[in-house]
Amino acid sequence: GKNVGILAMDIYFPPTCIQQEVLEAHDGASKGKYTIGLGQDCMAFCTEVEDVISMSLTVVTSLFEKYGIDPKQIGRLEVGSETVIDKSKSIKTFLMQIFEKSGNTDIEGVDSTNACYGGTAALFNCVNWVESSSWDGRYGLVVCTDSAVYAEGPARPTGGAAAIAILIGPDAPISFESKIRGSHMAHVYDFYKPNLASEYPVVDGKLSQTCYLIALDSCYKQLCNKYEKLKGKQFSLSDAEYFVFHSPYNKLVQKSFSRLLYGDFLRNASSIDEVAKEKLGPFSTLSGDESYQSRDLEKVTQQLAKPLYDAKVQPTTLLPKQVGNMYTASLYAAFASLIHNKHSTLAGKRVLLFSYGSGSTATMFSLQFREGQHPFSLSNIATVMDVTRKLKSRHEFPPEKFVETMKLMEHRYGAKDFVTSKDISLLSPGTYYLTEVDSMYRRFYAKK
Ligand code: ACO
């Protein structure tokens, strides 16, 4: 197949959320820390009736209905997630309930896990399959599903929850420029989940920020090198219309984009004008380590990058700011925001995506847009995702109720032999929900 890539997408996030301004006051943080300091507006979370399995059942069913896809048309299903519900049985096998009903059990693929990177691994697997000699002509389907929850403390406001489904095939409106890609993989302990009895990660916040930026710099450098070898000219920020980042919180995205501008400066790229050269001059001799520590460099680059950030990054930030870190779904929710905001002007444009999973694994890669044909057109993807309605129809929890929910979820994690309240009043019709976990830890779901 030619132009293999993304044919269709849909996103689901829980209707339950808390305003960051409210959480900030409740936590006794200084005013503006979560909203301006982290750059976040609101945070979605699962209540006891939802989890990563129910969210993925919901989003896959919705994608099939809205694009008129028969489950028989899927030949590969790959799930990316870092929310462990079972150490052996994959989330993919839960999703097989949808396919078994239609008589299709001939579907390759399982789950991929490494922090927030699993969704990208799943995506690459599906694209590679469609491009390979084992492709049987059917679609690939990628599902990214996560519930990001942190213990009480400074990381708690950087949670979130969502599931995204991405349909893969040839002649796509969003295709991969597979040669323009750079990865960075290393052994670091920045964020990990060694305590199997808890859903919460062990996280070194400061280290995780630096590891993210180190991986970003390294991927960008690799990507630029490959582009230059391939095209015989330099790559710089002006060669992509938009930049989409894995978004743990928006402030890190702002810092990341300005870091790329600094990268262009160090490589002496033509995109850097005289004013920028002069302002960045004093920082040209910093060592890598020094550059990650320098507040002055951060300030100057952020100032210089502001107009470019507004044009090339801001349109990607809606869902990550409104929903929070969705782990594997975070990058693709940022990408969904771009389609939501700019679908009518994207054709012919290039976008770079940066995927980061702690531990660490990271890839920067390039996608190209074209108009596409109904139902696989950019405008139809925006219509189907219906982001504005989904954001508007949410229910804001007061902080006490949010904390209470987190406590209940702590007890429920890894537990057996319980039924849920089955209070589904806040869920939209068509949403799957958890009804029971029996004495054998088997999980049961129903559809509203
Ligand atoms: N008004 C405006 N800004 C404020 C205010 C205020 N009242 N108070 C603080 N700030 C700013 C700070 O200056 C800081 O900004 P800066 O980074 O530009 O200096 C920002 O708000 C955050 O404040 P910190 O004191 O640095 O926050 P803290 O260390 O308490 O927690 C952190 C932030 C580390 C991100 C924490 O939430 C965390 O550990 N999150 C999880 C880890 C994570 O998401 N890492 C990202 C990559 S790995 C991954 O994706 C999971």
Tens of pLDDT, residues 161-179: 999 999 999 999 999 999 9
Split at pLDDT 50, 70, 90, the class of 269 is confident
CA of 204, closest atom in ligand 1 = 39
Q: What is the largest CA-CA distance in the chain?
A: 69
How large is the average pLDDT for residues 25-49? 98
> 38 C-alpha vs ligand 1 centroid, how far in Å?
5
Ligand 1, residue 157: give the atom nearest the CA. Answer: 37
Distance from the alpha carbon of residue 205 to the mean position of ligand 1, in angstroms: 8
Average pLDDT over residues 324-328: 98
β-partners of residue 160 are 148
Q: What pLDDT is stored for residue 176 in this prediction?
A: 97
Which pairing describes strands 418-419 and 432-437: parallel, antiparallel, or unpaired? antiparallel
Dump pLDDT digits (tens) for 129-139. 999 999 999 99
* Atom 23, ligand 1: residue with shortest CA distance: 37
Instruction: Encode pLDDT of 386-420 as tens digits.
Output: 999 999 999 999 999 999 999 999 999 999 999 99
What percentage of residues in the chain have a pLDDT greater than 70? 100
Using 50, 70 and 90 to split pLDDT, how confident is the model at 271? confident
Q: To the nearest whole number, what is the mean pLDDT of the chain?
A: 97
Starting at the earlier edge strand, list the strands of the sheet with 418-419.
418-419, 432-437, 443-447
The active-site residue out of 17, 42, 46, 116 is 116
b/e sequence 394-430, b meaning 16+ C-beta within 10 Å:
beebeeeebbebbeebeebbeeeeeebeeebebbeee
Alpha-carbon gap, residue 48 to 409, rounded angstroms = 6
pTM above 0.95, yes or no: yes
Residue 270 in this model has a pLDDT that exceeds 90? no
Alpha helices in 167-316, H assignment, sequence order = 205-231, 250-266, 274-280, 288-293, 295-312
Which residue in 184, 246, 340, 343 is the catalytic one? 246
- Section 319-334 average pLDDT: 98
Active-site position among 24, 82, 199, 241: 82
If we measure between CA atoms, which residue out of 176, 210, 207 comes closest to residue 191?
Answer: 207
Rounded Cα distance between 94 and 183, Å, is: 31
- Calpha distance 446→426 (Å, rounded): 15
Q: How many CB atoms lie within 10 A of CB 110?
A: 15
Is 433's pLDDT higher than 90?
yes
Asked if the model's pLDDT at residue 114 lies above 80, the reply is: yes
> Has 116 been annotated as catalytic?
yes
Q: Which protein residues touch ligand 1 with a CB less than 6 Å away?
A: 30-33, 36-38, 116, 154-155, 158, 191, 203, 205, 208-209, 212, 248, 251-252, 325, 358
Residue 448: predicted pLDDT: 97
Q: Is 370 helix (H, G, I), strand (E, B) or coil?
A: coil
Helix, strand, or coil (residue 352): strand
Between the two ends of the chain, the Cα-to-Cα distance in Å is 38
Taking the alpha carbons of 65, 66, 68, 72 in that order, is the dihedral positive or negative? negative
Expressed in angstroms and rounded, the spacing between residue 204 Cα and the centre of ligand 1 is 12
Output the residue whose Cα is nearest ligand 1's atom 6. Answer: 33
- For residue range 341-360, list pLDDT tens digits in order: 999 999 999 999 999 999 99
The answer, yes or no, to whether residue 111 has pLDDT greater than 90, is yes
Instruction: Please give the average per-residue pLDDT across 114-123, as a whole number.
Output: 98
